[in-house]
Amino acid sequence: MAELTQTKEKLATINEKYDKSKQSVAEKGREVKALKERIKEVEKELSLDKVVTEIKKVLWAHIGQSITDQW
């Protein structure tokens, strides 16, 4: 009977560790998901900066050309 009790206690301990492990994996999964979303946001910001830079170049080229044409 004592052996059965010990076995049940070991099983309970193992199940508890397993549950903690599952929680840990779930937490890491959420962290990874959040980081992936942040990466997407940063990529969008960076690509927008490139577009804005190109627009500025074009505008300044036109402004410069307009000034040249005036003279």
Q: What is the mean pLDDT of residues 18-44?
A: 89
Q: What is the pLDDT of residue 16?
A: 86
Confidence of residue 71 (pLDDT cuts 50, 70, 90): confident
Q: Virtual CA dihedral for 53, 54, 56, 62, nearest 10 degrees?
A: 160
Q: What is the pLDDT of residue 6?
A: 86
- Mapped onto helix, strand or coil, the DSSP state of residue 71 is coil
Which burial class, exposed, middle or buried, applies to 42 when counting CB atoms under 10 A from its CB (0-12, 13-18, 19+)? exposed
Q: Residue 39 is encoded by which pair of tokens?
A: 């990466």
pLDDT, mean of residues 45-71: 87
Residue 45 pLDDT grade (very low, low, confident, very high; cuts 50, 70, 90): confident
